[in-house]
Amino acid sequence: MRKLYIIMLTAVLITGCTDSSPKKARMECFDPLDRVRTVAVLPVLNLAPDKSMNEMDLGNAIADEMTKLNRFHVTYPGDAAKSLSQKGVTFANGAVVMPGAAVKSATVRSEEWGKIINDGPGLEADTDQVAPASTGTLDPNLQYRRLAQMLNVDAVLVTRISMFDPYQARMALDAELILSDSAAFSSQEITMLSASGTAFARRDQQGERAFWWMSDVFDSEQKNTRARILAFSQRYYTREHALGPKIFLRVMSRFYDFVAYEMSRDLAIVTNPKRYAPEYEQAEKQAGLKKDKNNQYSLSYN
Partner 1 sequence: MCLSAGLILALGGCTETGKTGSKLRNQEKDGGVVEKSSFGYAMDYDVKLPGVGATSTDDVIQVTFTTEGGDFDVDVNPVNSNMIAFCSTRFSKNPQIFIANLGEGSVVQKTFDPAHSYIQPKFSPDGNRLAFASNCSGLSWDIFEINTFGKSAMTSVTGELRDTDEFHPTYAPDGFNKIGFSVIAANRNRIGIKDRLTGELLYLSTEGLYPEWSPKGDKIVFQQARHIGDPIYHIGCVDVEMTPARNADGGVRSLKRVANGKSEDCTIYNLRTGDEKTLVESGDWAAINPAWSPDGKYLAFATVKKSDAAIKENRRFAGDDIWVKDLADGSISTVTTDTACDWNPTWSKDGKIYFSSNRKGPKNIFAVFPKFLVDKPEMAVTPEPKSVPVAGPQDGK
Does position 199 interact with partner 1 (CB under 8 A)? The reply is yes
Among 52, 85, 137, 191, binds partner 1 (CB under 8 A): 191
Burial classification of residue 16, based on how many CB atoms lie within 10 Å of its CB (0-12 exposed, 13-18 middle, 19 or more buried): exposed
**Whose CA is closest to 63, among 264, 232, 251?**
264
Among 52, 85, 90, 110, binds partner 1 (CB under 8 A): 110
DSSP 56-68: HHHHHHHHHHHHH
Rounded Cα–Cα distance for residues 237 and 257 (Å): 11
Task: State residue 33 phi and psi, 5-degree precision.
Answer: -90, -5
Piece in contact with partner 1 (CB under 8 A), picked from 40-48, 54-62, 175-183, 239-247:
175-183
C-alpha 244 chain-centroid distance: 30
Does position 137 interact with partner 1 (CB under 8 A)? The reply is no
Strand pairing category for 90-92 and 95-97 = antiparallel
Among 70, 86, 135, 198, binds partner 1 (CB under 8 A): 198
Residues 30-89 that bind partner 1 (CB under 8 A): none
Which of 118/295 has CB closer to partner 1?
A: 118
Please say whether the beta carbons of 265 and 68 come within 8 A. Answer: no
Which of 23/239 has CB closer to partner 1?
A: 23
Q: In whole angstroms, how close is the CB of 42 to partner 1 at the nearest point?
A: 19
Among 149, 162, 224, 272, binds partner 1 (CB under 8 A): 149
Q: In whole angstroms, how close is the CB of 95 to partner 1 at the nearest point?
A: 22
Rounded Cα–Cα distance for residues 209 and 182 (Å): 8
Please say whether the beta carbons of 165 and 50 come within 8 A. Answer: yes
Which of 29/92 has CB closer to partner 1?
A: 29
Q: Which residues bind partner 1 (CB under 8 A)?
A: 3, 6-7, 9-11, 13-14, 16-18, 22-27, 106, 109-110, 112-113, 115-120, 123-125, 127, 142, 145, 149, 180-185, 187, 190-201, 205, 208
